[in-house]
Chains A and B, each alone.
Chain A
Amino acid sequence: MTEANRGYDSDLLRGNTDSLLLYLINEMGQAYGYRLIKEIEVRSGGYFRFKEGTVYPALRKLENDGLVQGEWKKLPNGQERRYYSMTDKGRELLREKLAMWKSFASAMALVMKPAEG
């Protein structure tokens, strides 16, 4: 995904997009592209802002890898929307990614302490 906001290193976010999407889909049970974008934007306080169309190729790659599963649903107004839900493989990977992220963040915090005084 390409972010619209350049307040951070783009590679940092690009490398963690899958984790963000997997985390939100897992938490929300079922989610669709637009909702995921909004959720990321709201939860990050507007810090992460993506070019919205890039979320769909990212979701497709997760689907190709068997991490999420897409399903079309018909809405009451007749419109159809594609919802994504986690697979067992996706949940397993998310657990690993969360554990890895926790260790990584702790180690980074230990090394990169802000200057005192």
Chain B
Amino acid sequence: MKAEVATYLDEVRTHLHLDPDTESRVISELYSHLQEKVNELQECGVSEPEATREALASFGGARAIARLTYEAYSRGSWVEALISCQPHMIVAALFATHVWRQPVMLGAAFAAIVLIALLGWRRGTPTWLYSWMGYAVFPFLILAGMSWDPVVRTVTFVLRGTGIPAPAWELALLGALCAFTIWLIASTTVRTARRDWLLASLMLLPLPVLAIWLITISQTEGFVLNALRSFEVRFSRWDMAMAYFSATLGVASVLFIRVRQRAFKAGAVLAVGIIGGAAAVRSFWGVAGVFWLIVLSVALFAFLTSPLLLRTVVGREAEPKQLLSAELPPS
């Protein structure tokens, strides 16, 4: 019995996309049911293989059961939805009020976001956490962006054989910062995608537009530190575009938490990420042609769905312990 049931439950689990503890509880309950059904059939004189087949047939298709279970568990409360949209609203407020130009306020806002993300991570990675995590990695992205130029310049100098342009320890530090940021984003994305690629997409949602905004600022103003000191009309326009974009992401995160169906969750993330992202970027670049908007939309789509590909490569999270033993995990 165990092999067929384990295979069946494994398929259910593959399509559950819930956190490991919840998955473990769900699988335990289903296993308990199947075990009882098989025992009962055997008591009626049915052979074990036949009883197992009958129990699984009457239980329903693994994918259908997984989908219904996901829908039953995946809807968060309004409180969770509210918590989930907060980082987007904080960032929208930073842009709308132009407060992001004040280093103290900007630092305080991102320190709070990082802190809340860390607390959420330690408290069992609830679904609302993933909106916070997207912004939590952003300060590291800024630092890596600031380090990127000196590191590239050094590599170029070394390749030309003209020596290094700055103290070695400084460059090593900047290189380490770049490597740490890449590792942080990659490892967090991989870990999240192993649980559910949609959560990883939700996490990555603000990053492409923030990165493009950062690059655009740095190209016009010599990176963000100079932009902090200046105030131009066009920056003000970009601020409003970013504020609207962030607020739209907030709406998407509320929808993500509240809707049950997986297809609608994916629709909310992708539609807002692509349409909102393209609209925001268009405001930085001025009048962009249809061709570039299509290219941008395709690139955003590829970026936001990349966790799906990642999950197929790295696989899902580890199996729950002692799945088929008598010591099934309690709630």
Q: Do A and B come from one complex?
A: yes
| Chain A residues within CB distance 8 Å of chain B | 2, 4, 32-34, 51-54, 56-58, 60-61, 64, 70-72, 74, 77-82
* A79 close to B326 (CB less than 8 A): yes
Q: A56 touching B60 by the CB < 8 A rule?
A: no
| Given the contacts A79-B328, A82-B32, A53 and B26 also touching, CB distance less than 8 Å | no
**Residue of A33, A53, A79 with most partner-chain B CB within 10 A:** A53
Assembly CA distance A44 to B270 (angstroms): 46
The answer to whether the Cβ of B43 comes within 8 Å of any Cβ in the partner chain is no
Chain B residues close to A by CB (< 8 Å): 25-26, 28-30, 32-33, 35-37, 58-60, 64-65, 68-69, 71-73, 75, 326-328, 330-331
Q: How far is the CB of B56 from chain A (nearest CB, A)?
A: 9
Contacts of B330 in A (CB 8 A): 72, 74, 80
Asked if A54 and B60 make an inter-chain contact with CB atoms under 8 angstroms apart, the answer reads: yes
Are B326 and A60 in contact (CB-based, < 8 A)? no
Q: Are B33 and A52 in contact (CB under 8 A)?
A: yes
Measured between alpha carbons, how far is A2 from B58 in the docked complex, in Å?
11
CB-CB under 8 A from B58, the residues of chain A are 4, 51-52
- By beta carbon, the residue of chain B nearest A72 is B330
CB within 8 Å for A34 and B37 given contacts A52-B59, A72-B330, A78-B327: yes
4 A-B pairs with least C-beta separation: A51-B60, A57-B72, A60-B72, A53-B65
Asked if B65 contacts A54 (CB within 8 A), the reply is yes
Tell whether A78 pairs with B326 under 8 Å between CB atoms, given A2-B60, A52-B33, A52-B37: yes
Q: In the complex, what distance in Å separates the CA atom of A78 from the CA atom of B73?
A: 27
Identify whether the interface residues of B are mostly helix, strand, loop, or mixed: helix
Is B75 touching A53 in the complex (CB atoms < 8 A)?
Answer: no
B60:A52 contact, CB within 8 angstroms: yes
In the assembled complex, the CB of B322 is this many whole angstroms from the nearest CB of chain A, namely 11
Roughly how many angstroms separate A77 CA and B327 CA in the complex, as a whole number? 10
Indicate which residue in A64, A77, A78, A80 contacts B28 across the interface (CB closer than 8 Å). A80
Shortest CB-to-CB span from A57 to chain B, Å, is 4
Q: Which residues of A contact B69 (CB under 8 A)?
A: 56-57, 60
Cα separation A53 to B65 with both chains bound (whole Å): 6
A4 surroundings in chain B (CB, below 8 A) = 58
Name the A residues within 8 Å of B75 (CB-CB).
Answer: 64
- Residues from chain A with a CB closer than 8 A to the CB of B64 are 2, 51, 53-54
Are the C-beta atoms of B30 and A53 separated by less than 8 Å?
Answer: yes
Alpha-carbon distance A46/B25, docked complex (angstroms):
30
Complex contact B26–A56 (CB within 8 A): yes
How far, in Å, is B225 (CB) from chain A's closest CB?
A: 48
Give A54 to B60 CA distance when docked, in angstroms.
Answer: 8
**Chain A residues within 8 Å of B327, by CB:** 78
**Quick check: A61 and B29 within 8 Å, CB to CB?**
no
Q: Tell me the smallest distance from the CB of B35 to a CB of chain A, in Å.
A: 7
Q: How far is the CA of A61 from the CA of B68 in the complex (A)?
A: 10
Contacts of A78 in B (CB 8 A): 326-327
B223 to A: closest C-beta gap in Å: 48
A82 to B289, CA, bound (A): 59
Q: Which residues of A contact B33 (CB under 8 A)?
A: 33-34, 52-53, 56
Q: How far is the CA of A60 from the CA of B22 in the complex (A)?
A: 12
**Which of chain A's residues has its CB closest to B69's CB?**
A57
Residues in A neighbouring B72, C-beta threshold 8 A: 56-58, 60-61, 64
Docked pose: A53 CA to B29 CA in angstroms: 10
Residue from A32, A51, A58, A81 within 8 A of B59 (CB atoms): A51
* Nearest chain B CB to A2 CB, angstrom units: 7
Within the complex, what minimum Cβ distance (angstroms) separates B38 from chain A? 11
User: 7 A-B contacts, Cβ less than 8 Å apart?
Assistant: A4-B58, A33-B33, A53-B65, A57-B68, A77-B326, A80-B28, A80-B328
Interface pair A79/B35, CB less than 8 Å apart: yes
Tell whether, in the assembled complex, residue B326 and residue A81 are in contact, meaning their CB atoms are under 8 Å apart: no
